[in-house]
């Protein structure tokens, strides 16, 4: 993985690796290892309020770390200072709303990137691509004892799934809901897994077909990636922030994954279904 270190968040970070149209960049973050860039000063009022609502101090810090890192990652693509980036939310059913997928912009206009963030405990992932490709990512910790038959089917008659298997199914549903901007209030319908690792998915009330697959995740977690068209490849990268490392570190540039190569899948935990759009 390519490792890039974020400098002063008030300044423009080093350029991110080149992002070609049709390719997804998938960033991995260890939140407990991150020093908060600029102490979190780059966050806007909405992000600060969302963090303050979390009960545990560790969760508040992880939320701030994930969103600071997200801003620095995007700043590396746009050339803007992290604090200058702003977003509004858009729901395909409601239009502009307090829920839905974040749409990022700067003073000069909308950022030509489609972005999705997910975090679970100390792990976070950020997916970035260029339109017309749209992307959603979800990562979840595998937790024991989840009643997946109740989570996945409203009347509790769904199949019995082991912890790892059920979590992996859930990450696919979440990833599709994030890519579409609808969340999982109405569960997406996902078809059979194909030999290339992808599965077709449809979102109730939203036209078009989506594609979803499991992607690599740390041990004890599950993750999935969803797109509105099969990408030419994915590139996995690791982001870190340290005052001692203000420049990109040398390393192996990620190799694009051919669109039909299978990626390893892992499994993870469930979240509530009573929310819409991007939850992080």
Sheet of strand 109-110, all strands in order from the earlier edge strand to the far edge: 95-97, 86-91, 101-106, 109-110
- The number of residues in the chain equals 280
**263's tokens:** 């990626």
Sheet of strand 2-5, all strands in order from the earlier edge strand to the far edge: 2-5, 233-240, 23-30, 123-129, 114-120
Total-model pTM: 0.80
As a whole number of angstroms, the distance between CA 158 and CA 70 comes to 36
Query: What's the pLDDT score for residue 104?
Result: 74
As a whole number of angstroms, the distance between CA 78 and CA 75 comes to 5
Query: Which region among 22-26, 40-44, 79-83, 273-277 has the lowest average model confidence (pLDDT)?
Result: 273-277
Question: Is residue 226 a contact partner of residue 128, using CB atoms and an 8 Å limit?
Answer: no
Can you list the positions of beta strands (E) in the chain?
2-5, 23-30, 86-91, 95-97, 101-106, 109-110, 114-120, 123-129, 135-141, 189-190, 199-203, 206-214, 221-227, 233-240
Model confidence over 222-278: pLDDT tens digits?
999 999 999 999 999 998 764 333 333 222 233 333 322 222 222 233 333 433 334
> Whole-angstrom distance between the N-terminal and C-terminal Cα of the chain?
24
Model confidence over 42-78: pLDDT tens digits?
998 989 999 999 999 999 999 999 999 999 999 889 8
Model confidence over 166-214: pLDDT tens digits?
999 999 999 999 999 888 878 899 999 999 999 999 998 888 999 999 9
Tokens 């030509």 belong to which residue? 112
């Amino acid at each position: 993985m390519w490792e890039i270190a974020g400098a002063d968040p008030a300044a423009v970070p080093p350029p991110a690796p080149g992002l070609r149209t049709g390719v997804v960049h998938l960033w991995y973050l260890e939140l407990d290892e991150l020093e908060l860039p600029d102490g979190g000063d780059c966050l806007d009022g909405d992000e600060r309020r969302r963090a303050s609502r979390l009960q545990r101090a560790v969760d508040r810090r992880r939320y701030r770390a994930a969103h600071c890192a997200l801003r620095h990652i995007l700043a590396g693509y746009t050339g803007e200072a992290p604090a200058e980036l702003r977003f509004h939310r858009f729901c395909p059913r409601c239009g502009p709303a307090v829920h839905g997928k974040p749409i990022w912009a700067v003073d000069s206009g909308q950022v030509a990137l489609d972005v999705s963030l997910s975090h679970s405990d100390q792990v976070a992932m950020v997916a970035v691509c260029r339109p017309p490709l749209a992307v959603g990512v979800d990562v979840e910790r595998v937790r024991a004892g989840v009643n997946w038959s109740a989570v996945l089917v409203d009347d509790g008659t769904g199949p019995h799934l082991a912890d790892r298997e059920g979590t992996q199914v859930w990450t696919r549903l979440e990833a599709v809901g994030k890519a579409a901007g609808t969340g999982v209030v109405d569960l997406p319908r996902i078809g059979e897994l194909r030999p290339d690792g992808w599965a077709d998915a449809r979102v109730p009330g939203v036209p078009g077909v989506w594609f979803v697959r499991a992607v690599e995740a740390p041990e004890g977690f599950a993750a999935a990636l969803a797109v509105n068209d099969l990408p030419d490849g994915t590139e996995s990268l690791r982001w870190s922030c340290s005052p001692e490392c203000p420049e990109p570190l040398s390393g192996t540039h990620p190799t694009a994954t051919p669109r039909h190569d299978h990626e390893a899948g892992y499994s993870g935990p469930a979240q509530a279904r009573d929310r819409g759009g991007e939850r992080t």
